[in-house]
Structure 1
Amino acid sequence: MFIAYAVVAGLLALVLAASATFTLQRNPAITENMVKVGVPDSWLPRLAALKAAGAIGLLTGLWLTPLGIAAAVGVTLYFLGAIVFHLRAKDYALAPAAVLLLIAAAALILRAAA
């Protein structure tokens, strides 16, 4: 189970780090989507920080189990919130958030089981 967690957490951390970077750089693909679902522009730095913290926590969780579990819970809640924002805005293009939610939940289950 640990190797499975390491692979899932590593890939998810990579995606989160890239997304945090693009969010901080105000990449048009990210900002257009955020505006479409009603996320205020002032939230972007905080959301990027949450993604970066999730990535760091998932990787640190390779050595510190409680931190890995906490990070996986946080990332799962982050993407659950993203789905809620999409649904509130009646934007049903939520496949990326749903896939990342499932991957984060898998990381949580794998870390708890390892």
Structure 2
Amino acid sequence: MFAAYVTVTIIASVFNGFAAVTYLIGHEYPKAQADMKRIPRSWVPVLGVLLAAGSLGLLVGFAVPLLGTLAAAGLVLYFVGALIAHLRVGSRQLVGWAVFFSTAVATLALNLGYHL
């Protein structure tokens, strides 16, 4: 159980960390996605900070389990919001979302399973 918890948590942290970097450096992909979902571009850095906080929170969770659990739950909520944003504009491009969401859910489940 511990190996799965550590592996999935690190994978989720890396995925979200890379996504946060693309949001924070001003890459065109997050801007195009914001435009497609009719979200103001001014939100892109905020979303990047949320992803970065989730990514770092997962890693801090190895030392402070409650923070890891909260970070995983926060990422699950973040990606529920992303799904709503996709569906609101009729987007069916959900493969990327599904990867990130399932990783966040798995991290939360393993975190709870390991620490409870």
Q: What TM bracket, shorter-length normalisation?
A: over 0.9
Take 1:72 and 1:51, find their aligned partners in 2: how far apart are those partners? 11
What does the per-residue CA deviation read over 1:67-109, in whole Å, with 9 as the maximum and x for residues that have no partner? 1110000000001110110000101101111221111011001
Take 1:94 and 1:84, find their aligned partners in 2: how far apart are those partners? 11
Take 1:80 and 1:108, find their aligned partners in 2: how far apart are those partners? 14
Q: Report the CA distance between 1:15 and its aligned residue.
A: 1.2
Q: CA RMSD in A?
A: 1.0
Per mean C-alpha deviation after superposition, the further-off stretch among 88-97 and 23-32 is: 23-32
Secondary structure at the residue paired with 1:21?
helix
Alignment check: 8 A CA contact 1:2 1:111 kept: no
Take 1:108 and 1:52, find their aligned partners in 2: how far apart are those partners? 17
Q: Report the CA distance between 1:112 and its aligned residue.
A: 0.5
- Unaligned regions of 5+ residues in structure 2, if any? none
Per mean C-alpha deviation after superposition, the further-off stretch among 75-84 and 24-33 is: 24-33
One-letter amino acid of the counterpart of residue 91, structure 1: S
Superposed, which structure 2 residues align to 1:85-104 within 5 Å? 85-104=85-104
Superposed, which structure 2 residues align to 1:99-110 within 5 Å? 99-110=99-110
One-letter amino acid of the counterpart of residue 63, structure 2: W
One-letter amino acid of the counterpart of residue 53, structure 1: A
Aligned to 2:61: 61
Alignment check: 8 A CA contact 2:60 2:68 kept: yes
Aligned to 2:28: 28
Length-normalised TM-score, structure 2 = 0.93
